[in-house]
Amino acid sequence: MSQYTSRRRPRITNFWLGILASTNSAAALLALGAGPAARAFRTVTTTATIVITDDILLCNDTGAAGFTVTLPAREEGLVFVIKKIDANVSVITIATPDAATVDGSATNVISLVAQNHIVTVACDGTDWHVLS
């Protein structure tokens, strides 16, 4: 029996997904079964580097000493949500791994100081931008 039957959706290759994505047609992607993917959560309790497979990073400073989370190498289209979830009086520092700026600031640092403080950052391929 063939692996394809009349009831099965047509196989969508990365080529076609790229074409559809370039049209910014979410409806077309959803119709073809290429809907939104689940978001990847990761919780860190000490200094860490964000990896491309992270979407949402929860920072739990159990030691109350603060720590640094480093963004990955710059790549256009990367977006991360970072949230401080502990109630300790400590600072979670978000830094870049290189000379990239964050919203044009050469200090390259974002600080989360209060419980439930959230920041969303995005990369345009050159620098990082705070979206919220």
Mark 44-70 as b/e (b = at least 16 C-beta within 10 Å).
Answer: beeebebeeebeebbbebeeeebbebb
pLDDT per residue, tens digit, the chain (132 aa), is: 444 444 444 444 555 555 545 554 445 445 555 556 678 899 999 999 999 999 999 999 999 999 999 999 999 999 999 999 999 999 999 999 888 888 888 667 789 999 999 999 999 999 999 998
Closest CA to 40 of 55, 59, 18: 55
Model pTM greater than 0.75? no
- In the chain, the domains with their CATH numbers are 1-36 (no CATH), 41-130 (2.60.120)
